[in-house]
Homo-oligomer: A and B are copies of this chain.
Amino acid sequence: MSNLDLIPYPKDMVQESDVSLARTLQQWAEAEVLSKRLEYREDYEKLLKPAMRKLFIDVELQKMIWPENCGGIGLNTPEVARTLALSLEQIGRADTGIGYLFSVTFALCSSFAMETNLNEELCDRIAPLFCQTQEIALGSLVLPAFGRGEHSAEGPLFRGKVLPARARRDGDTWVVNGKSLRPLNSGADAQLFGVFCALEKEDEPGLILVPGDAPGLTRGERFLKTGLAASDNADIDLTEVRVPVENLVFRGENPLRQILSWLYLNSGAVTVGSLFATYEIMRDWAEMRVIKGKGSLFKENPLTASLMAEISHEILLSRLLLHQLAQMLSKPELYRQPGEERLYIPALSVVSHITQTAEKAINQTMELMGSAGYATEWNLERYWRDVKTMQVHLGNWELNKMELARYFFQCRNL
């Protein structure tokens, strides 16, 4: 018994359908991942793809956001926020990386498949990639990055960073160019990239959809990283890649903020799920471990109990914050649209808290477990690597805080 029900969440905010989907995903998590960890211990990565297939195809998660007339489930209204919070907790509990891939994919598609900003033409063209396939379909984002040396050489800056690619209009197509772009995930196998581009002869940058099989898109070597094994990431090059004009999903900052708000909610939920796994691993440890010689159970020592309490305390708070954010995203009439600062800032704030807290909480849990904390056998160290990897992909906290400062103090020159 996992005792996860000891960690409260705002029950009055969720519908029965959300709860039952979460239950389905909990079963998936236990059957396809948690229970198989032991047998796949030596090569954990081997269990990822089959588990993902079950989740994305059999449980149809990759159809979730698409309108029903495109073959999707049609969960594309703001209320889906509460569904996502409960569902992604369970996915993240099973594997942070799988949860992260779903998070980015959903966030990308939210830019044109949500009821509030539905682009039917695009949906009709893109939905089949996700709804009429027996293959796992992944979306990925290419966002502004640090410049190298002097930026003058690197085109216009967006909020201090360099736009990864440039697009020029040619008749009814956009021609996109960019070298060694670093996607958030899945550079090696994503079916759809959202690339944030400088638009020739325009002031505002925009997000352009580039299918993974577009001529002129080449993928680099899959590179090694700390965590998120489910994501086969690699840099990509775009050379004279042509896409229909409609693939320019939006221009400007607010729509980007909307994508990020959904990404933050999702990443927060995945992290909370990973914290659930941490809590469960810690419980197992605390129940069987004896210290100070025989007789005294680990969990009965005041010092270790104090640290275990501290960790659980943080998990409880993170979950409350996550569902509070879900509630806000689900009611734009009360809390604004996700693209507006009034909602985007709390989303950034909540996900930053959750991911930073999770780093600390898992660190502390490892401390409790000594060598079992870093032994692959106990699985905890993987959540530690995964959560940290996801956190750094959300961006440099010092620079993200500049957004908060502009909001709270109307700074103009940061």
Contacts and interface: CB of A to CB of B under 8 A. Distances in A.
Interface stretch (A39-47, A132-140, A308-316): A308-316
Interface stretch (A114-122, A235-243, A245-253, A345-353): A345-353
B414 A302 contact: yes
Contact of A313 (B306, B316, B327, B352): B352
Contact of A409 (B305, B398, B407): B305
B306 A402 contact: yes
Name A's interface SS: helix
Contacts of A305: 401-402, 405, 409, 411, 414
A349 B316 contact: yes
A348 to B, nearest CB: 9
Interface in A364-414: 398, 401-405, 407-409, 411-414
A80 interface: no
B412 A313 contact: no
Interface stretch (A7-15, A193-201, A263-271): A7-15
A279 B405 CA distance: 12
A336 to B, nearest CB: 9
A129 interface: no
A21 interface: no
A146 interface: no
Contacts of A331: 12
Nearest to A325: B320
A355 to B, nearest CB: 13
Given A12-B331, A309-B405, 15 more contacts: A6-B408, A299-B411, A300-B414, A306-B402, A308-B405, A309-B401, A309-B402, A309-B403, A309-B409, A312-B404, A312-B408, A313-B349, A313-B401, A320-B346, A320-B350
